[in-house]
Amino acid sequence: MPGPVLHITGARPNFPKAAPVHRALAERGVTQRLVHTGQHYGEQMFDVFFRQLDLPRPDVDLGVGSGSHAAQTAAVLTAVEDLLVQQRPALLVVYGDVNSTVAAALAAAKLQIPVAHVEAGLRSFDRAMPEEINRVVTDRIADLLFATSPDAVAHLGNEGIAAHRIHLVGNPMIDTLLAHLDHIDADRARADHGLADPYVVATLHRPANVDHPVDAAELVRAVHAVADQADVVLPLHPRGRTRLHSAGLFRHERVRVLDPMGYVEFLGLVRGAEAVITDSGGVQEETTVLGVPCLTLRPNTERPATITHGTNRLVTRAGLAAEVEARLRLGRPQSWPVPPLWDGRAGQRIAEVIVRELS
């Protein structure tokens, strides 16, 4: 008997990517185990997603928790190695670009267990982002590479990865968005939060925006300048809370800082917003499909399809308020393109390839 397919999740953005792949493999009768590393934990960053998404609770939670990059990566590497030795899976599936992704892939590669990387080939070409290092290393050691967009396929080819290992399958995170669209209710979100139109949603957690006091202070000034024009609702990632609090984020009456939200509630707020300000990867993609103007507070993006096919624009902190003002003046687009294959069937395509490879 071949071993199970073992999925690794670590952080919040992994859950909506894993759910459709797990579901599509279950439909094909594949034996699976879900392992959570524990990089993200607690009600808001972990439990809520297993109630809302079509994903069973993990069979194993390795409980590694927070730490420096080296400490966290090493803890995942060691814990996953032990598990792989016990379980001998036929395939390890890793998602995205977080520390848990690269650590688990490395543990499997050293044990000669095949690795599939979902969301392979994204590149910001910015090694100051820890995720870029995780992406490059994971792709280098993966056996099966599932890409969301043609640019990702091209990057993998340029890095010398054989074409037969690369599969352009679309975007599983968008499968999850489309599967939950009926419950992603802008009117309800507006009512629950007592919001009047227009309002802006913000999510901010990249180290380059929130880790250093000077950046955090500049960010807070930019968000306050937006709040002079519209209510800003900000479900704040735990990473930035202390620093942004010290920088005075909470001191504007039209900035509402909330705890991190459940998936359905968060996307309800996004769906009704006039614009979204973010440094998240996934939110750039979700706004692209929802047709909500997205202003990304970063100098680059590994998701260029959200700009060429979507509603995303890269902005600076200094230019943010003027960009929001322009969005408020223009209003929401009536129609918008969506990248090819972001159609709700990526999980099915990934499962087809995995089943073929396993047989």
Judged by the rule CB under 6 A, the positions of this chain that interact with ligand UD1 are 11-13, 39-42, 45, 66, 72, 97-99, 130-131, 205, 237-239
Stretch that binds ligand UDP, among 20-28, 29-37, 280-288, 346-354 (CB under 6 A): 280-288
Task: Choose among 287, 336, 337, 330: nearest CA to 198.
Answer: 330
Q: How far is the CB of 213 from ligand UD1 (least distance, A)?
A: 17
- Decide which of ligand UDP, ligand UD1, none touches 45; Cβ closer than 5 to 8 Å per partner kind: ligand UD1
- Look at the alpha carbons of 145, 151, 154, 160 in this order and tell me if their dihedral is positive or negative: negative
Note the helical H segments in 6-98: 14-27, 42, 48-52, 69-87
Largest Cα–Cα distance of the chain, in whole Å?
A: 63
DSSP 58: P
Among 121, 260, 310, 347, binds ligand UDP (CB under 6 A): 260
Please tell me the distance from the alpha carbon of residue 138 to that of residue 117, in angstroms, as a whole number: 7
Q: Given the complex with ligand UD1, which of 149 and 280 has the nearer CB atom?
A: 280
What is the signed CA dihedral for 64, 69, 70, 76, rounded to 10 degrees?
A: 30
Q: Does 186 bind ligand UDP (CB under 6 A)?
A: no
- Decide which of ligand UDP, ligand UD1, none touches 267; Cβ closer than 5 to 8 Å per partner kind: ligand UDP
The catalytic site residues sit at 205
Among 134, 171, 280, 296, binds ligand UDP (CB under 6 A): 280
Q: How far is the CB of 163 from ligand UD1 (least distance, A)?
A: 28
By CB under 6 A, the residues from 230 to 249 that bind ligand UDP are: 235
Q: Given the complex with ligand UDP, which of 12 and 345 has the nearer CB atom?
A: 12
Q: Does 12 bind ligand UDP (CB under 6 A)?
A: yes
Please tell me the distance from the alpha carbon of residue 124 to that of residue 140, in angstroms, as a whole number: 16
- Look at the alpha carbons of 345, 350, 356, 359 in this order and tell me if their dihedral is positive or negative: negative
CB 274 within 8 A of CB 198: yes
HSE-CB at 255 with a 13 A cutoff on CA atoms is 23
- Decide which of ligand UDP, ligand UD1, none touches 99; Cβ closer than 5 to 8 Å per partner kind: ligand UD1
Residues that bind ligand UDP (CB under 6 A): 12-13, 16, 203, 235, 260-261, 263, 266-267, 280-283, 286
